[in-house]
Structure 1
Amino acid sequence: MHVVSVRTGLGRAALAACGVSVLLAPSAGAAVSGTGQPGGVRGEVVTVTTAKVGAPGNAAVGVVPFTDAVYRSCADAPPGSADCLMVGGVDDPYEIGQFEITVAQWVAFLNTADRGGRDPHGLYDRTESSSAWPKYGSIDFSAAAPDGHHYSVAFPEWADKPYGFADFLKAARFVNSLYNGRLISRGASTSGTFEYATYEVELSPQTERGMYDLARPDATRAGGSGFVVPSQNEWIKAAYYDPSGGGTYSYWKYPTNAGVFGDGDASAPAPTVLHPTTGDVTNGATQPLASYHATGLPAPSWCPGQVQPAVCATANPFGLDPIAYAAAYQGSLGTVGQARTTSPWGTLDQGGNAVEWTDTITPPPAGGDPARVWRREHGGVSNAGAYQMWPSAVGLQPQDNVFFGHTYPWLGFRVGVVGDSGPCKP
């Protein structure tokens, strides 16, 4: 198995995984000796589970951004739909994260990539702390902590929630850390018709080069094999493309169910209800289900039990008055996977929870700054309606949107694997 080039530590370990010399870590998330890292630097260990996506060469469909339809081709779109684009077609098999990257995984990355707590690459903002933002602050920073321990999950309940303050450059650095890391083990499993791979990786502190050379603002994939931020087409195919032919032109309207194009939100999944102090999903038996803000219902929301509800309802780092704050910030991110409704390929939370980055570069919108690099985003969000879960919800943002990094707590990502990622053969 070649997850990445054998010139990297992860590639060498991938070869070892097919033999007998695999070093097993004590547990996921624990710090282990960095024998595979430059200078013996210790890296945190993360476990990433991916869903396998097959049916290579599937047909794409046409979408007009944020409209309630898909088309066999853009020639079939309504007259004047100059912004129609074809999405969802992928030529090769690949893998995509079963879940969004969690706060615990991101903290492990922070303590590996920024052991000294100096943050030269802007990986952390004070608005992410529980003291600055009691309702949404999931990560605390301590300048006095020992190297490798400056960052911590703010409250235990946050550990298994999506990391929600990502820009693309943060996502790319996480992927580079995986790409340059040391593979400890790889396992395969199935659930019904779904196939999964589970990677246990000691993260690398090398974040600036790997799958993405971040010396280039418009960085694209540097290799054909390894960990990636999924492309827009990879993301959409995993979320909507039904290899059995369900939906419309084999595409579902939601990542949770086929739905009916043209019916607004009538066939949308039910919205999650979150435990008020833990953020766990309490109505998982209701299916299909997704974390989004359904029309006429409260947004899914919670406040860490260690914080007084009145503080969560009013305290914010922007000085917004309680009424404006309540209107702008309603939905919360729930525990990953607990909505339980799978996409056609076995992923979870591609509908709802956090909006997610892709690595697809796109022209800016009308009036957008052409000097900046814009990338596509996708997925529902717990603070927005069902339309955000449609295949046509092809959002875009500058990859380094500092404003969003300060003010938007619902922007995450999941990782993918491309190339020769099949199980080891004897």
Structure 2
Amino acid sequence: MKKKSMKQSLSVVMLSLLAMSSVQQTAHGKTKPDIHADAAILVEADTGKIVYSEHEDEMLGIASMTKMMTEYLVLEAIEEGKINWEQKYKVSEKVYQLANAPGLSNVPLRAGEEYTVRELYDAMVIKSGNGAAIALSEVVAGSEGEFVKKMNRKAEELGFEHYQFVNASGLSNYDMLGMFPEGTKVTDENMVSAEDMATLAYYLIHDFPEVLETSSLSSKVFRPGTNEELVMKNTNGLLKGKSYYYQGADGLKTGTTPFAGSTFTGTAMRDGVRYISVILDAKDDDGEPSSRERFLQTKELLDYGFNEFKTVKYGLESLDKNNHKLPVPDGVKQEISLKVDKPLSIRLGKQEAASVKTNLKMDPDKVDEEGSLKAPIEKGEKIGELVIDIPVAEEYIFDKKETSYKLDVYAAETVEKASWFVRSARGIQDFFENIF
């Protein structure tokens, strides 16, 4: 596995307190999902934390989930101003033949006809139109062969480790009527690991959240009011009105070929929490590829994330014992109130939460030799960090991820430094109190 342990080991300066919240089990508990697929993964969409995984590093067929990379490159080209939604594309002979080939998922495109980038994009995302995907590759790169080079470069840029993109649509090259991209072979297949597919989904959602506006549509009419009018039905069975409806589901892409089996990259959001799941080659009880099972198993993964974990908020509540205050011995006022911008929310299981510790790590420039805050202190001045230490190893879909479990702590008020006379008087008072 490429991911590094995110176990945090941070020095404690003051106040080590056990976290008070108790939540649900981790991925190796009794409620671990029972998934029948060649590979699977469940990831927190906000953090990239891996919640569940099996054979996640195996490079396997992804079929039409390939279109997620095509979506990314199209949206990136639009963002960079290289193409635009209303730009017209005139259907090439290759696209015409593949968009009208029997047995392939398509929105039929007419020879010599012009279609906007938006029309092609909708056809690709909603109906999984193969011809539309190839057309978009020609819009972005001039040819599908050049587009495939972009796909593989982008995969490397995003940190993929197990991948091979050979066309823009996800078709098996041998199904492309001999018109597979230059630089690839007829026997080549699009192959990516479950972990790298989850990484692609993460970046697709984070970099271009508008992708969900289209992927969440159960259906849409192609070219309404024309003789090409067609109701495009989304292949995602978890969407509203579909057979396997799942509350909060709004993406992302299915895939099916004899080589890849039944695959699915799903995502859903509930109560502000989003998960990403990937199922590669879902199997039924007899071990046969199953379109139905990819949705059922995705639901099981998502249920695991939403039900077995809870959001725990960490903030100054950890310092309630001190009423959110710290002593300032040399200040006019001898204590100071603290504040944070907002609590830090972390999804945790029971075993994790029970072992979490919160530590107030002070800025060494703000304390004296005894570790006490030094005056003067200005309101809003950062005085340290609240560190949430989770001694359970965590894995992410990134090789390098900065620890996010730190919360800046600020002074909520100004405390001026007491005069020499006042500080001396306090010292004398402390001396006699210690004697008696």
Q: Shorter-chain-normalised TM-score: which range?
A: under 0.3
TM, length-normalised to structure 1 = 0.24
Larger of the two Rg values belongs to structure: 2
TM, length-normalised to structure 2 = 0.24
If each structure's helix is expressed as a fraction of its own residues, which one has the higher value? 2
